[in-house]
Chain A
């Protein structure tokens, strides 16, 4: 198990600052997810840790020992960092069999002993026993994904990096692989750092989520924290649906809007005009106009008529305010301290 610490790590490409200086600790044995839209710097951060990119500033420590330090002029190359990594599109070597793909790291590091046993164990863990002699192109997407995973764990690394590993799979398979991947990581007890832009993946798999946007870290916390107490308007908008009461300041989630009053003290009540009704199978999604340019979403079990006026009630503990945390971040001028 490995703990990764980043201190003041930043990266820019030409004039584009891909990653603002960041302090961050990836906790040992936890499943941590970097979540954000494309171009937010999450992949850059992952690749800096992998050693596939070189930071401009700062230090990267593994269990307290630097693997990169701009000041001390340390930059351990990727192949000596001994992390496992699962790439987008799998990156299986097309000229090697499944066995050779998985055995690569053992052979590359000169561990000649018990290669066969190690490879077989890794393939067994991903349920691919008997596929050793197949070529990658003879495998289905899910199987290729498993080979990529077996390749990453065969060396029993302390840390495994995932770069949007499920994005090349179709929706059904993606969900299946999600459960399987999560199960395997938990079973092996390794530290995992997972990059994705898919909030469902992030919410369902992670112990911790780090939300990023344009090279900065906006919020870090458990999935529940991130959903229930978004620290930034962007986080609130990016994860789940948000109905803004005061734009950028307070909001509630669609499932917390009630059509009948709960008579709770301090309950918020608004009237709104129904604009659009979409049938989703398990429910109706109601789009309504609550005035002051507030367009909200609500869920209902029955069809409603566009144009009707409705009352919507929100319990006080379901109204969340976002701007406090944002003020906190602004206090630290530029440098992000999140740990």
Chain B
């Protein structure tokens, strides 16, 4: 038993070092290495001598603006959903997750199609031509990204508001607090720590985001760190020095943010669920307040889901782009062409499927192993495994990808994985490992260890107890991790763009390439198919009766 534990811990560290830690360190090393010797000032010189500083500023400014707009969108929504009968509409919660689950590059493309010259906006409302060009600005970019990210902040705020139990407010009322005073002295302080955490995460997600800068940002000439890293790695002249300088900067910024966030969460968060009595006050929004709330949600749904999906679906169904939205201009021929056996598009779709299938299966095995090694995270070694295995969630995807390229493409690498099918799978596995780790860890945390002790006392060998008791009980977490990895790998853009061997395409790169080359209909048809299939898959797996292991006594 002891031997097994030692060996498996060593194996976990070795795996994490090779897969995650070493490639990331290599980024820092490459950034400071010049002709064989270390020059810590190298990245600074580079910043002084090029326009990288403005790129950095662009990223940070974008982050700040997105925080402001997501707050404006999410706070009223969270309030309405936590404090009004509308919150009881369960379907709204699922629907509100759609913007977040939509790949950002697809959302951006939808917006561009809608707002561009002769786009759907102008076709539906010709007078809007006066102001649609104004959309193609930093303001538009902030709006698109905020509409993608706001559900995240909304969920955090709403959950906190729900946890601030009715009795806390009742106590304040009984002790003489007016509504304004209650909000200021009770709700706000309790909400603030969650808000700060949510906002930090929004900031990190914004500066780590690639899809919108790569599509919309490029169109308006607003360059940020992720899009520049992509540029320096993928298009001539290739400059790994600049790419790694930017990547290490981005990496450091995100790590600092996560560090602040973890301090905040450990110091300034309160246990809000007060035992049994956490019941909800029966709020009723009547009259104009109710109408206003409903209207707000409806408007938000139209803007965040309606417009992008309308554009994407319309574009995939139009016969002739020039003819626009008109009777007789509708067709399914793009779909027929897309799904033609043997076509490039069909091949890309199948590639995505097989790559994701392989990646999610491997990720689930590795992730479960790491999650079990983390256990309750009490030992120092367990904490490190936890930290490292969740690293890909902390670090922007593009940074991980740069590290993996540096590592697996280096001259001294004996394993010829680079430029192969396996490299893509490996990248997906690493990028999405944290999902399985987190799901399985949460699942494992709910399993009382006496269930396993009871197995040992009943004469079960450790392996037998693992197979017959622990594994069946972990199935729900494992399935959730698998589903998530499969879905997200299917839609992954940046890793696919940078890692795919030449002449190989996935659905994401296909959409990107078609859009770039002006074959919008085909690209959007692919977007509908790809998002559609993965969404349906998620719904099916979600609706499956949770396996017998899902029930806890």
Q: Identify the A interface with B (CB < 8 A).
A: 50-52, 77-80, 82-85, 87-95, 104-105, 108-109, 135-137, 144, 151-152, 155, 161
Q: Which B residues between 443 and 483 are near A, CB-CB below 8 angstroms?
A: 448, 450-451, 453-462, 464-465, 468-469, 472-473
Q: Known interface pairs A89-B448, A91-B450, A95-B548. Does A79 touch B553 (Cβ–Cβ under 8 Å)?
A: no
CB closest chain-A residue, reference B461: A79
Cβ contact within 8 Å between B458 and A95: no
The complex places the Cα of A136 from the Cα of B454 at a distance, in Å, of 15
* Shortest beta-carbon distance from B449 to chain A in Å: 9
Cβ contact within 8 Å between B454 and A108: no
Partner of B468, one of A50, A51, A104, A109: A104
Cβ contact within 8 Å between B448 and A52: no
Cβ contact within 8 Å between B458 and A151: yes
* Shortest beta-carbon distance from A94 to chain B in Å: 4
Cβ contact within 8 Å between B453 and A78: yes
* Shortest beta-carbon distance from A155 to chain B in Å: 7
Cβ contact within 8 Å between B473 and A87: no
B45 within 8 A of A: no
Cβ contact within 8 Å between B451 and A91: yes
Q: Which of A51, A52, A77, A152 gathers most chain B CB within 10 Å?
A: A52
Cβ contact within 8 Å between B548 and A105: no
The complex places the Cα of A135 from the Cα of B552 at a distance, in Å, of 11
Q: Which residues of B contact A78 (CB under 8 A)?
A: 453, 456-457
The complex places the Cα of A87 from the Cα of B459 at a distance, in Å, of 15
Cβ contact within 8 Å between B457 and A95: no
Cβ contact within 8 Å between A52 and B548: no
Partner of B459, one of A50, A90, A136, A155: A155
Q: Which residues of A contact B464 (CB under 8 A)?
A: 108
The complex places the Cα of A136 from the Cα of B451 at a distance, in Å, of 13
* Shortest beta-carbon distance from B511 to chain A in Å: 42
The complex places the Cα of A105 from the Cα of B457 at a distance, in Å, of 8
Cβ contact within 8 Å between B450 and A88: yes
The complex places the Cα of A136 from the Cα of B551 at a distance, in Å, of 10
B1 within 8 A of A: yes
Cβ contact within 8 Å between B553 and A82: no
Cβ contact within 8 Å between B473 and A95: yes
Q: Which residues of B contact A108 (CB under 8 A)?
A: 455, 458-461, 464-465, 468
B549 within 8 A of A: yes
4 A-B pairs closest in CB distance: A105-B458, A108-B460, A78-B456, A85-B457
Cβ contact within 8 Å between B460 and A87: no
Q: Known interface pairs A88-B450, A91-B451, A95-B472. Does A83 touch B457 (Cβ–Cβ under 8 Å)?
A: yes
CB closest chain-B residue, reference A154: B458
Q: Which residues of A contact B457 (CB under 8 A)?
A: 50, 52, 78-79, 83-85, 152, 161
Cβ contact within 8 Å between A91 and B473: no
Partner of A87, one of B1, B453, B461: B453
Q: Which of B1, B448, B460, B472 gathers most chain A CB within 10 Å?
A: B460
Cβ contact within 8 Å between B460 and A89: no
Total interface residues on B, CB under 8 Å, equals 25
Q: Which residues of A contact B450 (CB under 8 A)?
A: 87-89, 91
Q: Which of A77, A85, A104, A144 gathers most chain B CB within 10 Å?
A: A104
* Shortest beta-carbon distance from A220 to chain B in Å: 25
User: Helix, strand, loop or mixed for chain B's interface?
Assistant: helix
Q: Identify the B interface with A (CB < 8 A).
A: 1, 448, 450-451, 453-462, 464-465, 468-469, 472-473, 548-549, 551-553
* Shortest beta-carbon distance from B75 to chain A in Å: 40
Further contacts, 5 of them, CB under 8 A, given A94-B451, A95-B472? A79-B460, A79-B465, A85-B457, A108-B459, A108-B461
Q: Which of A77, A78, A109, A155 gathers most chain B CB within 10 Å?
A: A78
Cβ contact within 8 Å between A93 and B451: yes
* Shortest beta-carbon distance from B309 to chain A in Å: 40
Q: Which of B461, B551, B553 gathers most chain A CB within 10 Å?
A: B553
* Shortest beta-carbon distance from B445 to chain A in Å: 15
Q: Known interface pairs A94-B551, A95-B549, A136-B553. Does A104 touch B460 (Cβ–Cβ under 8 Å)?
A: yes
Q: Known interface pairs A78-B453, A87-B450, A87-B454. Does A94 touch B459 (Cβ–Cβ under 8 Å)?
A: no
Cβ contact within 8 Å between A90 and B460: no
Cβ contact within 8 Å between B459 and A82: yes
Q: Which residues of A contact B465 (CB under 8 A)?
A: 79, 108
The complex places the Cα of A262 from the Cα of B47 at a distance, in Å, of 103
Cβ contact within 8 Å between B552 and A94: yes
Partner of B551, one of A95, A104, A155: A95
Q: Known interface pairs A79-B460, A94-B473, A105-B460. Does A85 touch B551 (Cβ–Cβ under 8 Å)?
A: no
Q: Known interface pairs A104-B468, A136-B553, A137-B553. Does A93 touch B459 (Cβ–Cβ under 8 Å)?
A: no
The complex places the Cα of A152 from the Cα of B459 at a distance, in Å, of 10
Cβ contact within 8 Å between A91 and B458: no
The complex places the Cα of A88 from the Cα of B448 at a distance, in Å, of 11
The complex places the Cα of A9 from the Cα of B458 at a distance, in Å, of 24
Q: Which residues of B contact A94 (CB under 8 A)?
A: 451, 473, 549, 551-553
A-B contact pairs, 22 of them (CB 8 A): A52-B457, A78-B456, A79-B456, A79-B458, A79-B460, A79-B465, A83-B457, A84-B457, A87-B454, A91-B448, A91-B450, A91-B451, A91-B453, A92-B553, A95-B548, A104-B468, A108-B455, A108-B461, A108-B465, A135-B551, A136-B553, A155-B459
Q: Known interface pairs A80-B459, A108-B458. Does A90 touch B453 (Cβ–Cβ under 8 Å)?
A: no
Q: Which residues of B contact A152 (CB under 8 A)?
A: 457
The complex places the Cα of A90 from the Cα of B552 at a distance, in Å, of 13
* Shortest beta-carbon distance from A89 to chain B in Å: 7
Q: Which residues of A contact B552 (CB under 8 A)?
A: 94
Q: Which residues of B contact A85 (CB under 8 A)?
A: 454, 457
CB closest chain-B residue, reference A85: B457
Q: Which residues of A contact B473 (CB under 8 A)?
A: 93-95
Cβ contact within 8 Å between A79 and B459: yes
Q: Which residues of A contact B458 (CB under 8 A)?
A: 79, 104-105, 108, 151, 155
The complex places the Cα of A154 from the Cα of B461 at a distance, in Å, of 17
* Shortest beta-carbon distance from A47 to chain B in Å: 8
Q: Which residues of B contact A51 (CB under 8 A)?
A: 456
Q: Known interface pairs A90-B553, A95-B472, A95-B551. Does A52 touch B455 (Cβ–Cβ under 8 Å)?
A: no
* Shortest beta-carbon distance from A270 to chain B in Å: 46
The complex places the Cα of A92 from the Cα of B453 at a distance, in Å, of 11
Q: Which residues of B contact A88 (CB under 8 A)?
A: 450
Q: Which residues of A contact B548 (CB under 8 A)?
A: 95, 135
